[in-house]
């Protein structure tokens, strides 16, 4: 679906992600610390296997997850609206094709991908029907969208989210669940963790994601901590 471009060729309805776009090097530390046992990846594979299939990573940001997907999928496409992140994603090893676009404006033909992942990107209901319709357009019959979201009910990360005014745009857990249920999604919870090698990295990531009045007290109450529990919710819709 075409659209009039915004700055840097970005789709006009794109909303810049301050964590990923302002500090890509700190967001890289966050991705590196995420889910060290691969429990989220295991759940994603169970919901919608991508070995030998064509996978779209929607809102791929700086492309952290692209090389892992290319190791298994027949073909990987990363779509990202932010012009500042596209070169970082394109520079990842593995040969994923990286294209500018958005959930609402995917530069792909009808029925051309088997699996779509959207990891902390665009799908923060309500207000996501345009993107869901566009994802359904590019999915082959029987293909699946899996959205990776924060669990706002379980884990230490959820407690930080509840205290943070910055998390308000992510919506209330009950309303998010209802939105996806109305659209026939399967819901899956995964309890995992953030595990950092260095305290300085944990501090930098907490200060990226949370305002000082939230990050500061948590760090003071957990001196020397290198990890925290982190709940995810996955939503899977099949075309």
Ligand X SMILES: C[S@@+](CC[C@H](N)C(=O)[O-])C[C@H]1O[C@@H](n2cnc3c(N)ncnc32)[C@H](O)[C@@H]1O
Residues that bind ligand X (CB under 6 A): 14-15, 17, 19-20, 31, 58-61, 64, 80-82, 85, 102-104, 119-122
- Tokens 């309500």 belong to 126
Minimum distance, C-beta of residue 221 to ligand X, in the bound complex (Å): 26
Minimum distance, C-beta of residue 220 to ligand X, in the bound complex (Å): 26
Q: What is the residue-wise DSSP string for 8-37?
A: GG--TT----HHHHH-HHHHHHHHHHB-TT
Shorter beta-carbon distance to ligand X: residue 122 or 180: 122
Minimum distance, C-beta of residue 90 to ligand X, in the bound complex (Å): 13
Shorter beta-carbon distance to ligand X: residue 65 or 180: 65
Shorter beta-carbon distance to ligand X: residue 135 or 214: 135
Minimum distance, C-beta of residue 52 to ligand X, in the bound complex (Å): 23
In degrees and rounded to multiples of 5, residue 95 shows phi and psi of 85, 20
Shorter beta-carbon distance to ligand X: residue 85 or 215: 85
Shorter beta-carbon distance to ligand X: residue 59 or 143: 59
- Tokens 């909303």 belong to 15
Minimum distance, C-beta of residue 238 to ligand X, in the bound complex (Å): 20
Assigned token pair, 183 = 């659209």
Assigned token pair, 171 = 């919506």
CA–CA dist 137, 71 (Å, integer): 26
Say whether 38 sits in a helix, a strand or coil. Answer: coil
Q: For residues 9, 75, 104 and 14, what is the CA-based torsion angle, rounded to 10 degrees?
A: -40
Cα 197 to Cα 20, 202, 218: the distances in Å are 20, 8, 18
Shorter beta-carbon distance to ligand X: residue 68 or 222: 68
CA–CA dist 40, 192 (Å, integer): 8
Minimum distance, C-beta of residue 194 to ligand X, in the bound complex (Å): 13
Chain centroid to Cα 111, Å, comes to 22
Chain centroid to Cα 180, Å, comes to 16
Minimum distance, C-beta of residue 87 to ligand X, in the bound complex (Å): 13
Q: How many CB atoms lie within 10 A of CB 142?
A: 8
Shorter beta-carbon distance to ligand X: residue 69 or 180: 69
């Amino acid at each position: 679906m075409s659209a009039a471009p915004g700055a840097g060729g970005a789709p006009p309805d794109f909303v810049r992600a301050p964590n990923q776009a302002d500090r890509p090097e700190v967001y890289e530390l966050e991705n590196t610390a995420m889910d060290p046992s691969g429990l989220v990846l295991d759940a994603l594979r169970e919901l919608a296997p991508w070995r030998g299939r064509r996978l779209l990573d929607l809102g791929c940001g700086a492309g952290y997850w692209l090389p892992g997907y290319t190791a298994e999928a027949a073909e990987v496409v990363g779509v990202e609206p932010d012009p500042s992140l596209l070169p970082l994603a394109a520079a990842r090893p593995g040969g994923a094709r990286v294209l500018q676009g958005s959930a609402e404006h995917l530069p792909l033909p009808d029925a051309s991908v088997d699996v779509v992942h959207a990891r902390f990107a665009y799908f923060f209901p309500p207000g996501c029907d345009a993107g869901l319709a566009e994802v359904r357009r590019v999915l082959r019959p029987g293909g699946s969208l899996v959205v990776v979201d924060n669990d706002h009910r379980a884990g230490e990360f959820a407690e930080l989210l509840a205290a943070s005014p910055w998390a308000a745009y992510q919506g209330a857990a009950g309303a998010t669940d209802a939105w996806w249920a109305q659209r026939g999604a399967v819901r899956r919870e995964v309890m995992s963790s953030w595990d950092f090698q260095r305290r300085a990295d944990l501090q930098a990531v907490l200060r990226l994601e949370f305002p000082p009045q939230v990050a500061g007290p948590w760090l003071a109450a957990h001196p020397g901590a290198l990890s925290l529990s982190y709940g995810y919710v996955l939503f899977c819709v099949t075309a």
